[in-house]
Amino acid sequence: MSQTLTITRPDDWHLHLRDGEMLKGVLPETTRDFGRAIIMPNLVPPVVTANDAVAYRDRILAAMPEGAEFTPLMTLYLTESTDAADVAAAHASGLVTAVKLYPAGATTNSASGVTNFDKVQGVLEKMAEIGMPLCVHGEVTDPSVDIFDREAVFIDRVLDPLRRRVPGLRVVMEHITTADGVAYVMANDADLGATITTHHLIINRNHILVGGIKPHYYCLPIAKREEHRHALVDAATSGDARFFLGTDSAPHTDPNKESACGCAGVFSATNTMSCLAHVFEQANALDKLEGFASLNGPAFYGLAPNAGQTTLTKHADPVAFPAKIVTGDGDVTLFDPGFPLYWTT
């Protein structure tokens, strides 16, 4: 008899859907397994105002596959000229769930991000007042800081001072990649949460660099040492409600990845639940998967869990996922965990 696990339908608390043909191609990969997702605003140009968010949400809804049950949770891209009243009104109307902070230049399409944090103090204070979460890309951009240290340095130089300047602000440290990130969350209160990606639970920096460069494992924040991956697995499987799933599934076409200057981003929407079941099973923590993928995220955001359920089945033989997703913009390579997968949704 095959083994099964039934959980509340999961959500993805950090997702890149892009726009146009790419959006059409990748959206079904998320709507199959996820009830909701926090939609990243780093389009070109970014989703900055409530009006931008309405228009983007409408484009997502227009691209939904027939019969899909999926709610996009919209975010606004914080700039130094973001208007606090516009943000508050967008949150009050239910249109926008969170605001995203990118340090200027930290990652793909982040040129309009924040350089001078004094300029966003008013917006952050308003968000603390109304209980609206801030999603943070936690890496410094100082060229003198080594790329593998940028998350740890960000916590000390930017995140901790920011949280002290705006008491009560609810913050999600996104896609944490280090033991330092895990420790910082654990040392704080329930106003601070963190998302963890599927791929950071599986790969370390050797996967990117040993035996030839593997562009499809290159993402930001970059995967760190094995000891950091262990800390992430421990956090994700601990049952601590401050840690929840954000895949950071970030599609780029193969030519844009397999290039002399390849884009950062791992595309994992299609096989994330299969990979997670494997990781949690290996950690003897299958009973914690529902908390991580389906319960802790909504609790942090003050939302009810999804009403529906998902049953995962473990097969006797490895299951096949497509190597690539075909989109109108070109092929997108799916995350390869490097081991056989046995679970399906």
Q: Is 223 an interacting residue with respect to ligand NCD (CB under 6 A)?
A: no
Binding residue for ligand NCD, selected from 16, 36, 150, 288, defined by CB under 6 A:
16
* By CB under 6 A, residue 108 contacts ligand NCD: yes
Q: Which of residues 237-256 bind ligand NCD (CB under 6 A)?
A: 248, 250
Residue 265: half-sphere exposure toward Cβ, Cα within 13 Å:
27
CA 341/CA 164 separation, integer angstroms = 44
Residue 219 touches which of Zn ion, ligand NCD, none (Cβ within 5-8 Å per kind): ligand NCD
- Whether 149 contacts 225, CB under 8 Å: no
Report if residue 137 touches ligand NCD, rule: CB under 6 A: yes
According to CB under 6 A, which one of 107, 268, 272, 274 is a site residue for ligand NCD? 107
Report in angstroms how near the CB of residue 334 gets to Zn ion at its nearest: 17
Per rule CB under 6 A, is residue 42 in the interface with ligand NCD? yes
Distances (CA, A) of 288 to 57, 107, 118, 189, 201: 32, 31, 40, 21, 14
Residues in contact with 141: Cβ distance below 8 Å, sequence separation at least 6, in sequence order: 103, 104, 105, 106, 150
Would you name the residues annotated as active-site residues? 248
Q: Is 264 in the site for ligand NCD (CB under 6 A)?
A: yes
Kindly tell me which of 105 and 161 has the beta carbon lying closer to Zn ion: 105
The binder of 107, among ligand NCD, Zn ion, none, by C-beta within 5 to 8 A per type, is ligand NCD
Q: Which is nearer to Zn ion, 139 or 248 (CB)?
A: 248
Instruction: Identify which of residues 185 and 250 has a Cβ nearer to ligand NCD in the complex.
Output: 250
Residue 137, contacted partner among Zn ion, ligand NCD, none, CB below 5-8 A by kind: ligand NCD
| Contact residues for ligand NCD, defined by CB under 6 A | 16, 42, 107-108, 137, 219-220, 248, 250, 264-265
